[in-house]
Protein backbone atom coordinates (compact mmCIF):
# COMPACT_ATOMS: atom_id res chain seq x y z
CA UNK A 1 0.00 0.00 0.00
CA UNK A 2 2.16 2.82 -1.25
CA UNK A 3 5.83 2.43 -2.10
CA UNK A 4 6.74 5.61 -0.21
CA UNK A 5 5.91 6.46 3.36
CA UNK A 6 6.08 9.41 5.71
CA UNK A 7 5.93 9.25 9.48
CA UNK A 8 6.23 12.36 11.61
CA UNK A 9 5.37 12.88 15.21
CA UNK A 10 5.11 9.40 16.64
CA UNK A 11 3.17 9.80 19.89
CA UNK A 12 2.51 13.48 19.21
CA UNK A 13 6.05 14.76 18.75
CA UNK A 14 5.55 16.48 15.37
CA UNK A 15 6.98 20.00 15.12
CA UNK A 16 4.34 22.44 16.37
CA UNK A 17 3.24 25.41 14.23
CA UNK A 18 5.70 24.43 11.48
CA UNK A 19 4.70 23.40 7.95
CA UNK A 20 6.54 20.17 7.08
CA UNK A 21 6.95 18.56 3.68
CA UNK A 22 5.50 15.07 3.25
CA UNK A 23 6.70 15.14 -0.36
CA UNK A 24 8.00 17.99 -2.48
CA UNK A 25 6.14 19.41 -5.46
CA UNK A 26 9.30 18.87 -7.54
CA UNK A 27 9.12 15.12 -6.85
CA UNK A 28 5.53 14.97 -8.10
CA UNK A 29 6.10 15.27 -11.85
CA UNK A 30 3.24 13.01 -13.06
CA UNK A 31 0.81 13.03 -10.17
CA UNK A 32 0.68 11.05 -6.94
CA UNK A 33 -1.80 8.82 -5.17
CA UNK A 34 -2.02 9.07 -1.39
CA UNK A 35 -2.95 5.47 -0.62
CA UNK A 36 -3.49 5.89 3.09
CA UNK A 37 -2.97 8.65 5.59
CA UNK A 38 -3.68 9.04 9.29
CA UNK A 39 -3.37 12.05 11.51
CA UNK A 40 -3.75 12.57 15.23
CA UNK A 41 -3.86 15.42 17.70
CA UNK A 42 -3.26 14.64 21.37
CA UNK A 43 -4.80 16.75 24.08
CA UNK A 44 -8.11 18.25 25.08
CA UNK A 45 -7.46 21.94 24.45
CA UNK A 46 -10.20 23.30 22.18
CA UNK A 47 -8.97 24.35 18.74
CA UNK A 48 -5.85 22.18 18.45
CA UNK A 49 -5.65 20.57 15.03
CA UNK A 50 -3.54 18.70 12.50
CA UNK A 51 -3.84 19.26 8.72
CA UNK A 52 -2.66 17.60 5.50
CA UNK A 53 -2.51 20.14 2.64
CA UNK A 54 -1.77 19.79 -1.11
CA UNK A 55 -0.06 22.82 -2.65
CA UNK A 56 2.54 23.68 -5.30
CA UNK A 57 4.47 25.75 -2.73
CA UNK A 58 4.77 25.67 1.03
CA UNK A 59 1.32 26.74 2.22
CA UNK A 60 0.34 29.10 4.96
CA UNK A 61 -2.17 27.12 7.04
CA UNK A 62 -5.70 28.46 7.47
CA UNK A 63 -5.58 30.64 4.34
CA UNK A 64 -8.43 30.57 1.84
CA UNK A 65 -7.52 28.57 -1.25
CA UNK A 66 -5.55 25.80 0.42
CA UNK A 67 -6.50 22.30 -0.68
CA UNK A 68 -6.90 20.53 2.66
CA UNK A 69 -7.10 16.76 2.21
CA UNK A 70 -8.40 16.37 5.73
CA UNK A 71 -7.88 17.56 9.26
CA UNK A 72 -8.63 16.70 12.86
CA UNK A 73 -9.79 19.26 15.40
CA UNK A 74 -10.19 19.09 19.16
CA UNK A 75 -12.92 18.70 20.27
CA UNK A 76 -14.18 16.09 19.55
CA UNK A 77 -11.99 14.34 16.97
CA UNK A 78 -8.52 13.32 18.04
CA UNK A 79 -7.57 11.10 15.11
CA UNK A 80 -8.74 10.33 11.58
CA UNK A 81 -7.77 8.12 8.68
CA UNK A 82 -8.28 9.00 5.03
CA UNK A 83 -11.16 6.80 3.90
CA UNK A 84 -9.96 6.23 0.32
CA UNK A 85 -6.97 6.94 -1.94
CA UNK A 86 -6.66 10.54 -3.14
CA UNK A 87 -5.04 11.82 -6.35
CA UNK A 88 -2.63 14.77 -6.00
CA UNK A 89 -2.11 16.57 -9.35
CA UNK A 90 1.41 16.88 -10.77
CA UNK A 91 3.30 19.90 -9.50
CA UNK A 92 1.71 19.80 -6.05
CA UNK A 93 3.52 18.80 -2.91
CA UNK A 94 1.95 17.38 0.21
CA UNK A 95 2.40 19.22 3.48
CA UNK A 96 1.58 18.63 7.13
CA UNK A 97 0.90 21.02 9.97
CA UNK A 98 -0.13 20.76 13.63
CA UNK A 99 -0.95 23.32 16.28
CA UNK A 100 -0.32 20.92 19.15
CA UNK A 101 0.94 17.44 19.87
CA UNK A 102 0.18 15.92 16.48
CA UNK A 103 1.34 13.18 14.17
CA UNK A 104 0.93 12.27 10.50
CA UNK A 105 1.58 8.96 8.76
CA UNK A 106 1.07 8.56 4.98
CA UNK A 107 1.74 5.98 2.27
CA UNK A 108 1.82 7.20 -1.32
CA UNK A 109 2.88 6.38 -4.88
CA UNK A 110 4.15 8.63 -7.65
CA UNK A 111 2.60 7.98 -11.06
CA UNK A 112 4.83 7.28 -14.07
pLDDT higher than threshold 90 for residue 45: no
How many separate domains does the chain show? Answer: 1
pLDDT attached to residue 62: 87
Read off the CATH number of the domain in which 44 is found: 2.60.120.1010
Average pLDDT, the chain: 91
| Tens-digit pLDDT profile for residues 74-94 | 887 788 999 999 999 999 999
Tell me if the pTM is above 0.85: yes
| Dihedral sign computed on CA atoms, order 100, 17, 63, 86 | negative
Which one, of 46, 33, 40, 11, lies nearest residue 94 by Cα?
Answer: 33
Q: Name the residue range of residue 31's domain.
A: 4-110
Q: With pLDDT > 70 as the criterion, what percentage of the chain qualifies?
A: 99
Amino acid sequence: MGTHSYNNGTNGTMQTNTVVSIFAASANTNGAIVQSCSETIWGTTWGLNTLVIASPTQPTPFVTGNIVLFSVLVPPISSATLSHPVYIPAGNGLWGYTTGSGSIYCNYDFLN
